[in-house]
């Protein structure tokens, strides 16, 4: 158990809908990351938050947004869903902001999103 929790585990929805994925980081970790794992794109970094502020952005679609709350949990919002958004969405957390010793990212179990 990595200490990172994600809800829900599975989500099935229809095209055009909006969903929210939730992540609670490990106790004490200030950084939260979101990744998408799909068959055709592999594992891709979406976005990073550190202590409530956005710090880095990857290949995140404009239809997607995220935020990190004062209690450090994070939510990833996906809107106007398309079939191609079906994927496993991982949240990860680390103690600090940037790469370095003791700053490994620990991953949650993921949320499997299916868009029908």
Partner 1 sequence: AQKVTQAQTEISVVEKEDVTLDCVYETRDTTYYLFWYKQPPSGELVFLIRRNSFDEQNEISGRYSWNFQKSTSSFNFTITASQVVDSAVYFCALSEGQAAGNKLTFGGGTRVLVKP
- Structure letter (DSSP) for residue 84: G
Count of residues touching partner 1 (by CB under 8 A): 31
Q: For the CB of residue 60, give the shortest distance to partner 1 in the complex, in Å.
A: 11
Residues 43-62 that bind partner 1 (CB under 8 A): 43-45, 48, 55-56, 58
In angstroms, the CA 96 to CA 100 distance is 9
- When the beta carbons of 9 and 80 are compared against partner 1, the nearer one is 9
The alpha carbons of the chain give a radius of gyration, in whole angstroms, of 13
- When the beta carbons of 8 and 100 are compared against partner 1, the nearer one is 100
Using CB under 8 A as the binding rule, whether residue 33 contacts partner 1 is answered as yes
In angstroms, the CA 52 to CA 98 distance is 15
- Per the document, the length of the chain is 116
DSSP-derived secondary structure for 16-44: T--EEEEEEPPTT--EEEEEEEETTTEEE
In angstroms, the CA 83 to CA 9 distance is 19
Check if the beta carbon of residue 19 is closer than 8 Å to that of residue 85: no
Binding mask 59-88 for partner 1 (x = CB under 8 A): -----------------------------x
In the set 76, 78, 94, 113, which binds partner 1 (CB under 8 A)? 94
Using CB under 8 A as the binding rule, whether residue 8 contacts partner 1 is answered as no
Positions touching partner 1 (CB under 8 A) are 2, 31, 33, 35, 42-45, 48, 55-56, 58, 88, 90, 92, 94, 96-101, 103-110, 112
């Amino acid at each position: 158990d990595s200490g990172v929790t994600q809800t829900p585990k599975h989500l099935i929805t229809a095209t055009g809908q909006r969903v929210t994925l939730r992540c609670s980081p490990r106790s004490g970790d200030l950084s939260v990351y979101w990744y998408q794992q799909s068959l055709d794109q592999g594992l891709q970094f979406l976005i990073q938050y550190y202590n409530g502020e956005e710090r880095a952005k990857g290949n995140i679609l404009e239809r997607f947004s995220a935020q990190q709350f004062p209690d450090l949990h994070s939510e990833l919002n996906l809107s106007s869903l398309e079939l191609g958004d079906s994927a496993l969405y991982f949240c990860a957390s680390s103690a600090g902001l940037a790469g370095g010793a003791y700053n490994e990212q620990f991953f949650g179990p993921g949320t499997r999103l299916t868009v029908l």
